Chain A
């Protein structure tokens, strides 16, 4: 009688632990995805924040390139007003294209290219590009890990029990290098 009780209690405890740990696992994996999303946001914002400074620096040398400046400022405003992650990523593509225009223009002004301020901005932009690429990679990885757990047995059973659904990959376009060849 007592042995049977012990076995039963152990089984119930083990089962309870399994149920709890799967719930926690899903929550944790989901948090990782959210966290990686916000990391991408942070980096995109950092890049957009470089724009006013960049425009001011380039303006000092290239006074006549008005269209480029207005475009990049517009792209920044569009990014700043975007609310959801998806619209932010879309607006970010606009920021990239506009920045590319600014750096292309800069190529025609040797003095600008040699200025310390500009070089520093160029370096920073390039570093942010790398970081966005890595954040995007981690974002995709964490969605993959989450989806694998949701789809594979026994995770599948627990997922349907707790209503955790497969997350659709949100395709973030790969980082384009907007900064022309930098030498450190």
Chain B
């Protein structure tokens, strides 16, 4: 098997994330132009104004409130340095390895091995692990998991994914408004010739397809960022062993007690075991992650 360096892996993932986000933007502008061609201009501008206001509100809420919402939704409590000495020590080590400030530490009561990170800036970040992870993982494995979570913070994944979510949201809003308003406008447009009708049909098809398409792109970006966080974790620890062992433990872990993770925050978690097709998952399959880590 060809060996890959973590530097190469990080570079490659960065590039594909950029390509993916560009393609969502292209879909967005394609949708807008087709709709603009299909309907009269006045509708176009109302759609844009509403979409923009909504997405600004959306981005503000998701940027400023998300951490608290997530912490509440999983019942996380703050981890004190007295009670969780090793956890604190490992995080401090990773801060030194990455040059980042120390995040706030939380734990959530759950038997499963899992963890997540949140926060828009390294200065205001939060790392949270399950009690199951603290109990079942040894020092090296826990370090790998923490390194993965801190990588999400270092790579600005949380902010990046919020941005993608806003674009996706914007696209579905535009599609919705168009599909709803097209019922009313379709009758009076009937005498505008063939081109108008073709654009109109095209716009309807696009309005239906593009939300689905960008969701797939969004999930694909999420999976890319997962690989990237794995690679950065290796960069911090200089060894993939801990994370590999941790992922293997997660794979064979049969704890029933599952945290109900809201869809919106699922990409932040270390792993999310779901049974849907790979195309519709926020995380790449554990086997694939282990395989790539083993080559580093």
Residues of A within 8 A of B (CB): 32, 35-36, 39, 43, 123, 127, 130-131, 134-135, 137-138, 142, 184
Contact = CB atoms under 8 A, between A and B. Distances in A.
Nearest to A142: B99
B93 A131 contact: yes
Interface in B70-99: 85-86, 89, 92-94, 96-99
Given A130-B93, A131-B92, A134-B94, A35 B99 contact: yes
B97 A134 contact: yes
A138 B139 contact: no
A21 B138 CA distance: 44
B12 interface: no
B135 interface: no
B238 interface: yes
A134 B99 CA distance: 10
B96 A131 contact: yes
Contacts of A43: 96
Nearest to A120: B85
B85 A134 contact: no
A34 to B, nearest CB: 12
Interface in B216-263: 236, 238
Contacts of B86: 127, 184
Given A131-B92, A184-B139, A137 B97 contact: yes
A121 B86 CA distance: 13
Contact of B97 (A35, A123, A138): A138
A31 to B, nearest CB: 11
A36 B95 CA distance: 11
Interface in B133-178: 139
B96 A39 contact: yes
B226 to A, nearest CB: 23
A28 B96 CA distance: 17
A127 B98 CA distance: 17
Nearest to A137: B97
B139 A135 contact: no
Contacts of B96: 39, 43, 131, 134-135, 138
A36 B86 CA distance: 22
Contacts of B236: 134
Contacts of B238: 137
A42 B92 CA distance: 12
Nearest to A36: B99
Contact of B89 (A39, A127, A135, A138): A127
Nearest to A132: B96
A138 B98 contact: yes
Given A35-B99, A43-B96, A123-B85, 12 more contacts: A32-B99, A127-B86, A127-B92, A131-B89, A131-B92, A131-B93, A131-B96, A137-B238, A138-B98, A138-B99, A142-B99, A184-B139
